[in-house]
Structure 1
Amino acid sequence: MKTTTAAPLVAELERTNLWPHGFWKLMEFRIGIIPLPIYCLLIALIIGFVSTGKVPTDISVSIAILAVGGFTCAEFGKRLPVFKHIGAAAIFATFIPSYLAFSHLLPELVLKNVVEFTKSTNFLYLFIASIIVGSILSMDRTILVQGFLKIFIPLAAGTVVASIVGTLVGTLLGLGTFHTFFYIVVPIMAGGVGEGAIPLSIGYSGILGQAQGDVFAQVLPSVMLGSLTAILLAGGLNFLGKKYPHLTGEGRLQQGEHSDFKMAEEGIPPGTDITHIAAAGVTAISLYMVGLMCFKVFGFPAPVAMLFVAVIFKLSRAVSPQLEQASFVVYKFFSTAVTYPLLFAIGASMTPWDKLVAAFNLANLITIIATVSSLMVTGFFVGRRLKMYPIEAAIVNACHSGQGGTGDVAILTAANRMQLMPFAQISTRIGGAIVVTLSLFALTQLK
């Protein structure tokens, strides 16, 4: 009898003891995805390595540094009143490390680790491949085709309107029509740095007979600030969508669109095992390699080539339902666990703070805001006329003014609509290439 009555008492004592149940509660309190005790351990270990004068460069340490940095910055953004609703987490995760690197407040050994890892692995494209393949393979087939055909209309209309509005505003503010159009408006919509600012600066320098470095320094601030403006406005659209749900598909581009598969709240969907998930990851990498080969052979941007191959796979039913479902799990993993560490890496290694600040004069600022705003507003209303969700159409147009693939990640993170990545890549890559080509042609005619 004593044993029977004592058992519940022992169980109750175990539940109220600090160890292990109290510690388990701490493990469930997380900074991003990192349990609080593990977060504190990682901070202590990073400080310890820095104090020894050597931070290991192996992939495990780099992942730990990026996770701690990315989720720490994001947590600050998520806790800001008002601003947390308009993408502060993505902005903080990108631009705080940029400032820390510029101001030498980030330990040199840590910064070196982040820069070398980011540039040597180029894991931005692993992220984009996983997001694109996962989101495409989980889309409804009919809506997928309709969406790709329709998205060019608000994108083209937005580009034309933004070019007119931005140039007019800059001219009225005394920046000059030529300078405003070619050095502010065009760089914003050129597709980022690697695909936009660099080809533009090479083209401008050849046509105008100027040093390419000087031209690049003039166009880069517009790219940076245009992307920041798009991030803020995309976050605002996410907030607007919560107030007016009828304006948004919560990541779906068209009315009636649905994903073929949904993640179960408790974890991996039934019927999906670890081998399927691993196979989905390899499939995403394989399609990206196809994209790389297309770039080498035809000069076509690798992410866009990969995107179209994934669409062909989806439409032809080349991938089994189990693998499609597993691809969605891969997509969810990367969007949940990798986004903020990636943004931290981008901020520290690829976002020059001084170039961003260089664009902060009133006339430039107003012109850039007018350009990006008109691009997104046009997408909103044209998309609505085409029976697309206006908020999603505006967010895809926003990616046209982003900082390339890195801007797409930040914009879609701020908008909480990472599943729009395939359409964002079209907006950025194809839209940017068209803008660069037409602007260089126009400059040759004006010279």
Structure 2
Amino acid sequence: MSSEQAVVVNEQLSHPEKKAYTIIGFPVPLFLLLTAVVFAAIVTGRLPGGMIGGFASMIILGAIFFEIGTHTPIVNTYLGGGAIVCIFGSSALVYFNILPEATVATMDTFMKGGGFLDFYIAALITGSILGMNRKLLIKASIRYLPAILGGVIAAMGAAALVGTLIGFGAREAMLFIALPIMGGGMGAGAVPLSQIFAQPLNLEPEGVLSIMVPALAMGNAVSIVAAGLLNKYGKGRPNLSGEGQLMIVKEDNAKEDTQPEKELPLDVKLMGMGMLMATAFFTWGNFLGQFLPSIHPYALMIITVAVFKAFGWLPHKFESAANQWFRFIMGYTTGALLVGIGISYTNLGQIIAAFTIQYIILVVVVVIAAILGSGFVGRLMGFYPIEASITAGLCMANMGGTGDVAVLSAADRMELMPFAQISSRIGGAFMLILASFLINLFL
């Protein structure tokens, strides 16, 4: 080899060819071409209806907002990055009437009537539970409910105290701010709460709901931001953060209790099997809910999947299939889902209208108290405080299932979805019982 050839080889070894920059897997020019096609259809009113138009527009917008959030200083390190930009960016497109009404209607129908949110959460619940270490799932579940109670007690107490100090009133702060924030979202929280409060307070349910919704929306926004901040704070603090692992495992049991389930090679047929399992478990939860109306179908689904996992009733092949489907859905459609959350479930006008000093102080106090209470009790129960604060605290303080996805995405801990759903569903049902008790106590 000549000296000139040696220099060329050394340069190639020292400076390997950089990998081409891509957006959701596409080279930038091709992604821009696809974006131009979709945007042209949106502007001209030619966007197909149903899931074709929904997927095309929401995946493109999600990819763009994620790129913005990922590369914007401060936002990408402290405020949740792409997740928060997806939600509030898409919500702003609706609020400022930038998106045509037909496009908004297509996305809204896809999210709600088309069931995309349920489809996504079904995949996450089934795949994440069946992909967990069985012993770790059993140990963590037993200790999780006390962490939820710790966050609720801290949030209610802090709202009463600060509400009194700033002249808002202890009762009003607890009933109209803390309860809806910690109450399991809109459909399973604020709406039934307004029914519970209306008759004893001699108010119309719509009037009660108008008071609660801004707290719910702002609490959701603060929870998403707090999730990003907790993720940043937990970096490099192994005593506080499990980096997505909820339970602290002793050294002598660490290998046995934290070792992930053995994964089979990625297979298209396995993913299809996983899709059927996810939708079947979701269907079972809804079917069972007809006979147990006091329990949310998500909670029934979680319990069923957890029982199958705990007792080992499914062969490993099927557990792996569900997990592969979950990883695909989480990896490629999260951005689209977050855009849908912004379009269909985040009313920027309500959040802006609620921006009074007293209201903001109380909402922030409730969310911080939920973080501290759940983190403290979670540590006593053997959990990492960061993970306990995110799941048992922020996933109680957010807007139900949509908030769970947003919070866990901002915290980069989507694998904790089963515990987030326990907070939103079982914890939300507990808050309705608590509300019934409190309203009678205060009258």
Task: Decide: shared fold, TM above 0.5.
Answer: yes
Quick one: which of 313, 336, 343 aligns to 2:338? 343
Match of 1:433 in 2: 429
Pair 1:360-2:358 in alignment: no
Q: Is the 8 A contact 1:62 1:113 kept in 2?
A: yes
1:296 to 290, 297, 302: 290
The one-letter code matched in structure 2 to 1:64 is A
The amino acid of 1:410's aligned partner reads A
- Quick check: 1:278 aligned with 2:272? yes
Q: How far apart in 1 are the matches of 2:61 and 2:187? A: 25
Alpha-carbon distance change, 301 to 243 in structure 1, aligned in 2, over 3 angstroms? same
Q: Which runs of 5+ in 2 are unaligned?
A: 1-16, 250-256
Q: Secondary structure at the match of 2:173?
A: helix
> In the alignment, is residue 116 of structure 1 matched against residue 113 of structure 2?
no
d(CA) in 2 for partners of 1:294, 1:418: 26
> Shift of the alpha carbon at 1:284?
0.9
Offset, 1:116: 2.0
Mark the CA change 1:180 to 1:143 in structure 2 (over 3 Å): closer, same or farther.
same
What do the CA deviations read for 1:278-306 (whole angstroms, capped 9, x no partner)? 11111111000010011122112111111
Tell me which of 388, 398, 402 is aligned to 1:406.
Answer: 402
- Mean Cα deviation higher: 35-44 or 364-373: 35-44
- Whole-Å separation in 2 of the counterparts to 1:109 and 1:438: 41
Aligned to 1:187: 180
Cα 1:82/1:259, change in 2 over 3 Å: farther
| SS in structure 1 of the partner of residue 261 of structure 2 | coil
State the Cα deviation string for residues 291-344 of structure 1 (Å, max 9, x = none).
001112211211111111101111222221122222222221122111111010
Q: Distance between the aligned counterparts of 2:151 and 2:113, measured in 1?
A: 36
1:62 equivalent in structure 2: 54
Return the alpha-carbon distance in structure 2 between the equivalents of residues 220 and 34 of structure 1: 40
Task: Identify the range of structure 1 (79-88 vs 419-428) with the bigger mean alpha-carbon deviation.
Answer: 79-88
Matched, 1:50 2:50: no
Amino acid at match of 1:292: N
Superposed counterparts of 1:362-381, under 5 Å: 362-381=357-376
> Which deviates further from its counterpart, 83-92 or 360-369?
83-92
Q: Does 1:443 align with 2:436?
A: no
What residue is the counterpart of 2:11 in the other structure?
none
1:152 has 2:148 as partner: no
Assess, with a 3 A threshold, how the Cα gap between structure 1 residues 440 and 38 changes in structure 2: closer, same or farther: farther
User: What is the distance in 2 between the residues matched to 1:416 and 1:262?
Assistant: 23
Question: What residue number does 2:13 align with?
Answer: none
| 1:377 to 1:32, Cα distance in 2 relative to 1, 3 A | farther
Q: Offset of 1:51 from its aligned partner?
A: 4.3
* Aligned residues of 2:186 and 2:400 also touching (Cα < 8 A): yes
Aligned to 1:15: none
The alignment partner of 2:146 has SS state of: helix
| Per-residue Cα deviation, 1:257-283 (whole angstroms, up to 9, x for no partner) | 4253366xxxxx43x532222111111
Q: Which residue of 2 aligns with 1:234?
A: 227
Which of 299, 311, 314 matches 1:316? 311
Secondary structure of the corresponding residue to residue 159 of structure 1: helix
In the alignment, what sits opposite 2:86? 93
Residue aligned with 1:157, SS:
helix
Identity of aligned residues (%): 33
AA aligned opposite 2:300: A
Alignment match, 1:249: 242
TM-score normalised according to structure 1 size: 0.89
Q: Secondary structure at the match of 1:120?
A: coil
CA distance, structure 2, for counterparts of residue 325 and residue 261 of structure 1: 8
Give the Å deviation of 1:88.
2.8
Letter in 2 for 1:277: M
- 2:79 paired with 1:83: no
Q: Determine helix, strand or coil for the equivalent of 2:235.
A: helix
1:173 counterpart = 2:166: yes
CA RMSD of aligned residues (A): 2.2
Q: Is the 8 A contact 2:68 2:85 kept in 1?
A: yes
- Asked if 1:393 is matched to 2:388, the reply is yes
Aligned to 1:203: 196
1:56–1:317 distance in 2 versus 1, CA, 3 Å: same
Residues 364 and 58 of structure 1: CA distance in aligned 2, closer, same or farther (over 3 Å): closer
Distance 1:244 1:352, change over 3 A: same
Q: How many Å separate the matches in 2 of 1:224 and 1:51?
A: 30
1:390-434 deviation line (CA, Å, top 9, x unaligned): 111111121000100000000000010011111111111111111
CA distance in 2, matches of 1:437, 1:151: 19
C-alpha deviations, 1:62-84, integer Å up to 9, x for none? 21100011121122111121221
In the alignment, is residue 217 of structure 1 matched against residue 210 of structure 2? yes
Q: Which one of 74, 94, 107 corresponds to residue 100 of structure 2?
A: 107
Q: Distance in 2 between matches of 1:237 and 1:411?
A: 11
TM-score by length of 2: 0.90
CA distance in 2, matches of 1:438, 1:181: 11
Preserved CA contact (<8 Å) 1:138 1:324: yes
